[in-house]
Copies of this chain bind each other. A is one copy, B any other.
Amino acid sequence: MLSAVFLSGAASVSAQQASTVLLSAEDSDPNRLGWMQGFPPAPERVIGQPDSNYFSFPKMRWTVCHFRELLPTKQVSRGLGAPVPFSYALDDAINDVTFTPIDGSEPMTWQASLNENYTDGLLILHQGQVVYETYSGCLDEAGKHGAMSVTKSMTGLLGEILVAEGALDEQALVGDILPELADSAFGSATVKQLLEMTTGLAYSEDYSDPNAEIWAYNAAASPLPKPDDYTGPRTYYEYLATVEPEGEHGQVFGYKTINTDALGWVIARTAGESVTSLLSSRIWQRMGAEQDGYFTVDSIGTPFAGGGLSAGLRDMARIGQLVLNEGVMNGERLFPAAAVERIRQGGDRQAFAAAGYRYLPGGSYRGMWWSLHNEHGAFAARGVHGQTIYIDPTAEMVIVRFASHPVAGNAANDPTSLPAYQAVAEYLMEQSATP
């Protein structure tokens, strides 16, 4: 089965492998490598079905812009109206901003960091205006890119909106909202524990372990026909009902995608709409989006709430600005400010510390967003290959990045990303302080 793609890049390069030589961003550029060019493409340049390797590096650098060509998907409609364009105040000098990578000694320029992180698209908003925008690899301004776990923050935002509006009680037990999950590990967890990923679940995402639960999850999640002898769960819902408890709820942060899938189900049951539909009606149709987004789905059309979103870079920037603005976009309030206030406030820092994220010391997780708890109060949505929506309220800055870093894990790109974002934030604050 080829369902590794649904998650965080099982077929990608591990950090250990990455210490060997990898193709650079330039050398792995999908246009340069010629994937899927020609009619038909040369056989060795085809990325298609069935192909269990379509999410392996360097093919993955093409695939991240083309999930819908490989898998069934569900639309996040932007509606039918006119998009609301951004205003622009481009500043090329950002390319020359320098920073020192974490664990490094040599300074690096912002521009050099783009290829270092296999950036496919990056846009910076400052005080609501676009000050920087670039595209590379498989992406252009009219393209869409896999957001991977940035999707979780969209699902989490919807959850926090429902909580802030009183439609969803964060202290309610998941098993009371979803009787189907009453006997699973989720049954005794609260909605708040889902939103903070402090559930106690017997679930491993260790791809190097053939007995890890991730593989059963993958098989259940695939929308493609199952093998004839397959007897396991056939949908996200069926899989979630099989999850066993491990440890206590509410003690330790454990980054497990299935929390978001369970939250997606809670949202659908509560709102009477799927995550795709609610994301469209509450946000996408009302923020002036340029493009529809879409989610991959399972065999019964359930959107992959934990990682299935693909969207345009500018529309991800609109989401970032909407969140920075605490729910206001183009002069209209789309949801209560409290939804974002809760996210900004962050989650349980002790529970988070126990998980040992080296590059996020003092951080926390709430509403499926990562809080840095740095001096600027920055918080972020983060995807496994370097995708991000990074929001710095102090600098009034939003950075959105799509990337296809060969290493599946932000530890590979954080050292040249987080200090770069901070450096640009400081640069922009200086600029606006100068009359």
Contact with B along A210-238 (1 / 0, CB 8 A): 00000000000001111000000001010
Task: Name the one of B49, B237, B292, B302 contacting A292, with C-beta atoms under 8 angstroms.
Answer: B292
Contact with B along A73-107 (1 / 0, CB 8 A): 11101011111000000000000000000000000
Could you list 30 A-B pairs, sorted by A, with CB under 8 Å? Answer: A36-B301, A39-B237, A39-B269, A39-B274, A40-B235, A40-B300, A40-B302, A41-B300, A48-B299, A48-B301, A49-B299, A50-B224, A50-B299, A66-B301, A68-B74, A68-B75, A68-B294, A69-B74, A69-B297, A69-B301, A71-B72, A77-B142, A79-B142, A80-B141, A80-B142, A80-B291, A82-B83, A224-B224, A225-B225, A291-B292
Q: Decide: A300 and B48 in contact? CB cutoff 8 A.
A: yes
| Residue numbers in B under 8 Å from A225 (CB-CB) | 49-50, 224-225
Quick one: closest B residue to A77, CB to CB? B142
- A366 → chain B closest CB, angstroms: 25
- A70 → chain B closest CB, angstroms: 5
Answer whether A49 and B223 are a contact pair too, CB < 8 Å, given A69-B297, A237-B40, A265-B39. yes
- Is A290 located at the chain interface by the 8 A CB criterion? yes
**What CA separation (Å) do A142 and B41 show in the bound complex?**
34
**What CA separation (Å) do A224 and B82 show in the bound complex?**
36
Q: Decide: A68 and B79 in contact? CB cutoff 8 A.
A: no
**What CA separation (Å) do A332 and B390 show in the bound complex?**
42
| Residue numbers in B under 8 Å from A168 (CB-CB) | none
- A15 → chain B closest CB, angstroms: 31
- Is A268 located at the chain interface by the 8 A CB criterion? yes
Q: How many residues of A contact B (CB 8 A)?
A: 44
* Oligomer: number of copies: 2
Residues 243-278 (chain A) with a chain B CB within 8 angstroms = 265, 268-269, 274
- Is A46 located at the chain interface by the 8 A CB criterion? yes
- A86 → chain B closest CB, angstroms: 11
Contact with B along A46-73 (1 / 0, CB 8 A): 1011100000000000000010111111
- A401 → chain B closest CB, angstroms: 20
**What CA separation (Å) do A235 and B39 show in the bound complex?**
11
Quick one: closest B residue to A238, CB to CB? B40
- A112 → chain B closest CB, angstroms: 29
- A244 → chain B closest CB, angstroms: 21
| Residue numbers in B under 8 Å from A235 (CB-CB) | 40
**What CA separation (Å) do A72 and B294 show in the bound complex?**
12
Residues 264-315 (chain A) with a chain B CB within 8 angstroms = 265, 268-269, 274, 290-292, 294, 297, 299-302
| Residue numbers in B under 8 Å from A274 (CB-CB) | 39
Quick one: closest B residue to A36, CB to CB? B301
**What CA separation (Å) do A145 and B98 show in the bound complex?**
51
**What CA separation (Å) do A41 and B237 show in the bound complex?**
11
**What CA separation (Å) do A409 and B80 show in the bound complex?**
32
- A68 → chain B closest CB, angstroms: 6
**What CA separation (Å) do A180 and B163 show in the bound complex?**
60
Contact with B along A308-341 (1 / 0, CB 8 A): 0000000000000000000000000000000000
Contact with B along A124-154 (1 / 0, CB 8 A): 0000000000000000011000000000000
